[in-house]
Structure 1
Amino acid sequence: MIISNANGESHAGAIKSIIDGADEIVIAVAFLKRGGADHLAPMLEERLAVGATVELFVGTDFFLTEPAALKRLLEVKKRYSSCSVMIADRAPATFHPKVYCSRRGENWRSLVGSANLTKGALQSNEEISLVIDHANDDAVTTALNKTFDRYRAWKRFQTLDPLLLQQYTSQHGIDKRERERYEKARDKALPDGFDLRVILDWHQRYLADPATSTAQADRRRKRTQALRVQQSIAALASHTVDAAARKVAKDGLGDLMGSAGGRHLWGSGSIHRQGSKALEHPAKVIRLFALARDASQRPPREGYAEIRRAAESIPGVGLNMATEILCTFAPTQYAVYNGNTVGALGALGIASPQYAQFHAIGPGSYERLCETIQALAGRIGAADLSEADAFLNWIYWKRKAENNA
């Protein structure tokens, strides 16, 4: 029979059916809490009072077992000599079984599954376990008894007594204090909106914004124009870079960035602040665009690595410009990454490198960022990473306006 706490049969009820009328009871669990001990102890005492034997093997890994629960079992053990409670030392290999066995004469019944001895596991958690009836000479019985014999002989186990309980209580207290300190720091450090379903909330707001439809159409139009400009700059590499070629490169880059009266074809708003320095190096810009045209046909890790090397020597060309170039050439593979991206991902609860600069974003990091934004695009139904960038840029500015309001 399958027990799941959701089909009308709780683990609490199943364990009671195993213990009732038993002559021998053996239980091995990874974690024991007070709610589980309070549920179990009266049933064990009832059987111990009529001569049954009881063995419990309890884990202490991660300090999830509660001292109060061990104290409850120790009280039972003190009253009945036929009750054995063995405690597993913590170790690199976690003690993790959840097994409840009993024998009535020659017949056995066992529950094996996911439920520890906690109130939640016995009644409300989503658990799944199997109840098995097996005979004394059954292969299942033999295998279980071999396992229990191994536990009995295992030096990892110690008998529960007041000294062991006090030692564990002290260690548990230290762990609890440090865990609470860590959890407080963790919760403070985690970005807002850790639940990724917040993406859908932002996206609904994005679609409801009256300006979104117009902005999307404008971005698509500019992206098409930007691609033509980038291709024209890249094509100059196959000819002598004379004065005319240099002018085409400078004019084209100005159109992309929006500097010196250009058309501002790229989506990034402030790229011209540093990027304008590149206007003084048209020959290097031509080579960069030609390299990016070819590199964009390779996977992001490889293509970005090549462009990063070439771009680092050109004044004014940073991560923002480099990824704009790559995204324009291959918007289904390459993501734009800049400060707006950092802020928007943070609003969605996604940690990302905080410095949108070459020194902070290596090829592996950029590849993972592209995968992240590709997954985001899939969640919102964006056609490519350029559309995902438009969504992230909208989040950044919307959040900034709300914070300044």
Structure 2
Amino acid sequence: MKLLLNGYDSGHGDEIIGLLANAEHLECMVAFAKSSASETILEPLKQAIARGMTARMAVGLSLFVTDPAMLYELFKLEKNSQNKLELYMSSTEETFHPKVYAVREPGGHRVIVGSANMTAGGFSNNYEASVLVNDRDGALMASIQEHFGGLIEEGALARATMPRINEYAKLYAVHEAWRKMASRRAEKICRGDMHSLEVLADWLADMKADDSPCGFTAQQTYRARDRLIARRRVKEIAGLGKVTRDTFLEAYEGLLGCFHSGGLHRGKGIVSQKSNLVISALAELLELKRATPAEAFELLHSHFEDIERAGINVLTEILHALDNKRFGVMNRNAVSGLIVAGYDQYPLRPLKTNVTPELYEQFCRDVREVQTQLELENLSELDALFNYVYWLND
């Protein structure tokens, strides 16, 4: 057994070519194959097949990383191999991700299993790690062949044909064009050179087409109902006065049930220990008339500063419940959504120690701008979109 690493003097490509030198049969499964590796692998592969080696190869199409050009080269080699080479392509929605090179030789079997794909990076340039196993009794080789056959039987692998490669090539061209454009735009957004709502707009279109409880129409209904109930419960808590911890906890649980930030219930017991601060904070908040986001935030923050587990998400959910056209919910989901659009000045984990009233004021301006450009009715709808994007990408 030997550890393989790419280095200055040798790499995976050298070892894989070495396997072909005396091989009688090759079993090869890779996630990606790119034309960058063609100069390294194709000629040794042709020579091995010409002297009698048989081979079975499977190439993954997941994520559109495999080059169609490499598939055409391998398919051409198969057609000229006089049935010595069988070429397969992945045919599954799940990611096809193995990297296996296994050969039968006159004196036994050798197998490489690890991280190296059939690419220039995998063969020499990338940091890769694999194990070369001297499989003398052929047990490992037999397992690989059985697994390969099983993937064919279950339909995860399909025999390569020219129509299949052509269809993949069309899809690859589209994905590659969009990937390059997205890369250029992402660089500009990361540098702060531009804002772009294209990604959020695409997700919004998907969300509007989604008829599940996570879809836009359902979320409109749920959130409109929940916000009305939350407003009533904020007022009820503000009027509690001096109450027992259990009475407060019951009212506070009812309020949290109307919010859409995750994990709020885990801190309810701790918050209930400072119920008097929460009650007085909400009572004072309701006395404010047309307060700016900074003013409303500062008032709640001054009361909540010493209340553990009453963080920025709780604070801004309360403000949002009172006015969903001026106050946005500030949590990880919302910040992540803004980053996608190029608004990157906010901490990924908003905390009472890193969000100031001025920063929250700016946050509210930014989310209102995004809401307007996406033609959404209010910030509740935008928050629903942020959650949709966050959880489906998590």
Give the TM-score normalised by structure 1: 0.54
| Counterpart position of 1:84 | 86
Secondary structure of 1:116's match? coil
Q: Verify: 1:70 aligned to 2:71, yes or no.
A: yes
What is the Cα deviation at residue 95 of structure 1? Answer: 1.0
Amino acid at match of 2:169: T
Distance 2:105 2:297 in 1: 71
Question: 1:335 and 1:88, CA in 2 relative to 1: closer, same or farther beyond 3 A?
Answer: closer
Q: Verify: 1:298 aligned to 2:299, yes or no.
A: no
| Counterpart position of 1:29 | 30
Larger-Rg structure = 1
Q: Verify: 1:56 aligned to 2:29, yes or no.
A: no
Give the alignment of 1:265-276 within 5 angstroms.
none
Secondary structure of 1:18's match? helix
Distance 2:182 2:284 in 1: 43
Question: 1:38 and 1:327, CA in 2 relative to 1: closer, same or farther beyond 3 A?
Answer: same
Equivalent pairs counted in the alignment come to: 269
Amino acid at match of 2:165: L
Q: Verify: 1:130 aligned to 2:131, yes or no.
A: yes
| Counterpart position of 2:177 | 177
Distance 1:306 1:48 in 2: 82
Give the alignment of 1:349-368 within 5 angstroms.
359-361=327-329
Q: Any gaps of 5 or more consecutive residues in structure 1?
A: 195-236, 239-294, 337-354, 378-383, 397-405
What is the Cα deviation at residue 167 of structure 1? Answer: 2.3
**Cα RMSD over matched residues?**
4.5
Q: Please say if residues 373 and 385 of structure 1, whose CA atoms lie closer than 8 Å, have aligned partners that are also in contact.
A: no
What is the Cα deviation at residue 310 of structure 1? Answer: 6.3
| Counterpart position of 2:120 | 119
Give the TM-score normalised by structure 2: 0.55
Q: Verify: 1:321 aligned to 2:295, yes or no.
A: yes
What is the Cα deviation at residue 392 of structure 1? Answer: 7.9
Residues 197-238 of structure 1: per-residue CA shift (max 9 Å, x gap): xxxxxxxxxxxxxxxxxxxxxxxxxxxxxxxxxxxxxxxx99
Question: 1:359 and 1:156, CA in 2 relative to 1: closer, same or farther beyond 3 A?
Answer: same
Secondary structure of 2:271's match? coil
Question: 1:40 and 1:328, CA in 2 relative to 1: closer, same or farther beyond 3 A?
Answer: same
What percent of counterpart residues are identical? 19
Q: Please say if residues 330 and 350 of structure 2, whose CA atoms lie closer than 8 Å, have aligned partners that are also in contact.
A: no
Residues 113-150 of structure 1: per-residue CA shift (max 9 Å, x gap): 11111111111112211111112343x23321211221
Distance 1:166 1:374 in 2: 43
What is the Cα deviation at residue 367 of structure 1? Answer: 11
What is the Cα deviation at residue 319 of structure 1? Answer: 3.5
Distance 2:295 2:348 in 1: 19
Distance 1:110 1:305 in 2: 68
Distance 2:47 2:183 in 1: 41
